Amino acid sequence: MEDITAFGVLGERLSFLLHHADMGAMTALAERLSPLGVTPGRATAIVYIGLHEGCDQITLGRALGVNRASTMKAIDALTVLGAIERRPGRDRRTNALHLTETGRGLRGAIEQATREHDQAAFDALSADERTQLRGLLTKLRSGARRRAPAIAMAATR
């Protein structure tokens, strides 16, 4: 791993440090999920669908923060994998997404793999530090969601 001092003042920026920590953690997570045949994004979709059986594609895309084309690509791949199935939705234009038996088993394996990944990825932190980090990241995420409409409005000006 590159020494952060090589990046001068950028190496001191919280966003820079967070980005590099995220890249390392997500690369390791992708490696851990690979034997299950899913990427981190598709694993997240499986868990979300399991928690929100019958959700539609638009709702899933919004929850994942991805565009319609990316959502469709993920749904198609998860359907081919046998993890989800489309059923008639609330109207003729929508599909309701449901986990299959395979998908339910995969969800359990994903939750176990992500639990093990978190333990390994954050083992440098004490239990109290992990709790504190979780709280801080949750706070940042909540703040970003509140600012999102204002940022979108500013971008259209």
Please state which architecture CATH assigns to domain 4-124: Orthogonal Bundle (1.10)
Q: Check residue 157 and give its pLDDT.
A: 39
d(CA 76, CA 64): 15
Cβ(89)–Cβ(96) under 8 Å?
Answer: yes
d(CA 131, CA 126): 9
pLDDT by residue (tens digit) across 82-107? 999 999 988 888 899 999 999 999 99
Mark the ranges of the chain whose per-residue pLDDT is less than 70: 1-2, 147-157
Give the domain ranges of the chain. Answer: 4-124, 126-157
